[in-house]
Amino acid sequence: MKEMYPKNGRVILHVDMNSFYASVEMAYDPTLKGKPLAIAGNPEERRGIIVTCSYEARKFGVKTTMPLWEAKKLCPQLIVRKPNFERYRKASMAMFGILRNYTPLVEPVSIDEGYMDITESFELGTPLEIAESIQKRILEQLDLPCSIGIAPNKFLAKTASDMKKPLGITILRKRDIPTVLWPLATNQMHGVGKKTAEKLATIGIHTIRDLASANDLQLKSLLGINGLRLKERANGKDQRPVDPEAIEEFKSIGNSTTLPKDVSNQQELFHVLESLSETVSVRLKRKNVFATTLAITIRYKDRKTITRSKKLANPIQLPEDVASIAKELLIKNWNGDPVRLLGITGSDLIEQDHAYKQLDLFSYEKDAKQEPLLHALSSLREKYGKNIIESAGSHKVDPNHTIGTATSFNKDFLRRREPEKE
């Protein structure tokens, strides 16, 4: 069986759960199977956005991040359920538990997907047999479908798992790259978003083949070091190891400051929180994450320190949102004594791609009104450079004031521990 594995290379699997939240709800309630189902922030008419939806709903044009009212217009018979993150977490932990039966080298990258290095698992069968066994066990034991990519590295494995959904298994070898990968448009490549694809088009790079043979100096000038990294990926090169400890790397984003003098004036403390909120917001944006829990730290003149947190209904990233919650926590928990240090920490972070917002009518209108401004800022940055307009908070970052580090909510969500009792 060892002869079926490369002598010097690796065999990497990427396991990607299909329509995970919706599939978990169907496993919990089998009467939902085969029906158009959406998971949304608020099931009331015209409220919330689609977090995910079943493949039956997608046939009607329903998509992730689509406003619920629009989805119901496309599919009047759409069934809507609120997210049940504790239920999804348990299903995720069970899924990763199955994966670890095949190899200890399992790296979760979000709540519903992960990499496996099965190079030394040859005693369990061929790579294809192992993938088939994993897919079958997850389906039989958890009643959940998944797609699996088999490849010599993480990039190609991720690419392969996207090729056939649901319940697909795809093998992608390096020798397949010229015929399978290169003809595709750059925006179909994992790691290349719409904006990056538009930038690449300005220097005549439209396909992955173009990217694979692009000029290094041009790429670096256009996209920095990421441009060279994308070229390597386009040529099927990816040396990143499958790291089981990667989920422990980051947990939170925060900022604190020791005040020049002890402060007992509420407005002065508010100003400090506003400054800290700017910095925390900048760091959240740099990591492309949102916070779903916010905490403040208060240290008094006698050095007594307290930390108080609040679980948020909606993920936050903007400085005004961070400041608003921080002030609320200060008012509720400050005893009025002089304060020596203040800190703000965002945790239970959720990746931007997975973030959803339970919009009520007020916030929906508020966000809609901001769209022209956001579009104008985006156009200016695209035309004159990303630094033409910056948040004031981006000039106040002091690395010496950092408390905690950053991660995705999904990674922290998947840390191996028992679910907390509520």
**Could you identify the residue written with the tokens 């508010």?**
270
Work out whether the CA dihedral 210, 215, 218, 222 comes out positive or negative: positive
Spatial separation of the C-alpha atoms in residues 399 and 259, rounded to whole Å: 16
| Strands of the sheet with 305-316, listed across from one edge | 252-263, 339-351, 289-300, 305-316
Instruction: With beta carbons less than 8 A apart as the criterion, state whether 296 and 330 touch.
Output: yes
Instruction: Please provide residue 194's backbone torsions phi and psi, each rounded to the nearest 5 degrees.
Output: -60, -45
- Cβ pair 359, 367 in contact under 8 A: yes
Strands 169-171 and 252-263: unpaired
| Residue from 145, 225, 238 nearest 190 by CA | 238
Q: Is 112 annotated as a binding residue?
A: yes
Indicate which residue of 113, 278, 382, 390 is catalytic.
113
Residues across the chain:
422
Inter-residue contact 332 to 391 (CB < 8 Å)? no
Cβ atoms of residues 157 and 117 within 8 Å: no
Residue 245 to residues 46, 59, 118, 405: CA-CA distances in angstroms? 41, 38, 17, 15
371 is catalytic: no
Q: Give the residue numbers of the binding site.
A: 16, 112
Question: Which active-site residues does the annotation give?
Answer: 113
Q: Give the residue numbers of the binding site for Mg(2+).
A: 16, 112
